[in-house]
Structure 1
Amino acid sequence: MSKPFDMELFLAGVLTGSHATRQRHLRQAKLIHAEITERWQRQTPWAWQKKHVDWFLEHRLHPRSEATRYYFLLTVRLLARRLQKAWVFNL
């Protein structure tokens, strides 16, 4: 039996800002992780490809407000920084 993925530990090195900002990034990263895991069965961010994150930003956030999409984009940039990927996303 494997342990569930710990997003808080994964992002610990790149999370900065106030407590509320860190909590928002963690909450959003967990949601991104859950959606990608459900859709593609990718259990950890290390297995993600840019297309998975693109799908999330384009299809799962489509009905959301522009401000919500922007805040999720900031979280995705943190994830990309942690993964050491040079991914560029446009909303």
Structure 2
Amino acid sequence: MSKTFDMELFLAGALTGSHATRQRHLRQAMFIQAEIAERWQIETPWNWQRKHVAWFLEHRVAGRCAVTRYYYLLTVRLLARRLEKPWIFKFQAEI
């Protein structure tokens, strides 16, 4: 029997801001985790590579509005900071 990964505990030290902001980051991080787990069967962020997160941003949120893509980018940056990875992702606004 395996335990499920606790994203809230994983991000606890990195989350700052208002309650609503922390909840949004947590909700989006859990969605990112679920999408990557479904696509690559990688359950925990500790095993993610940059390509997994880049795939999420390019394929799963690419069709969303600019504000939504920006909020997901902020969550990805928070995850990268927590993982202590030097990943850089750019925000591409609609033209």
Q: Normalising by structure 1, what TM-score?
A: 0.99
Look up the match of 2:3: 3
Structure 2 stretches lacking a partner, 5+ long: none
Shift of 1:36: 0.1
Residues 19-74 of structure 1, C-alpha deviations (whole Å, 9 max, x = no match): 00000000000000000000000010000000000000000001100000000000
Please give the alpha-carbon distance, in whole angstroms, between the structure 2 residues aligned to 1:85 and 1:63: 26
How many angstroms apart in 2 are the aligned matches of 1:24 and 1:62? Answer: 19
> Where has structure 1 moved over 3 Å in runs of 4 or more?
none
Q: What is the TM-score with the length of structure 2 in the denominator?
A: 0.94
Unaligned runs of 5+ in 1: none
Give the number of equivalent residue pairs.
91
Q: Which residue of 2 aligns with 1:31?
A: 31
Distance in 2 (alpha carbons) for counterparts of 1:18 and 1:90: 25
Partner of 1:53: 53
Select the structure with the greater relative contact order (CA < 8 A; seq sep ≥ 6): 1
Distance (whole Å) between structure 2 residues aligned to residue 40 and residue 90 of structure 1: 23
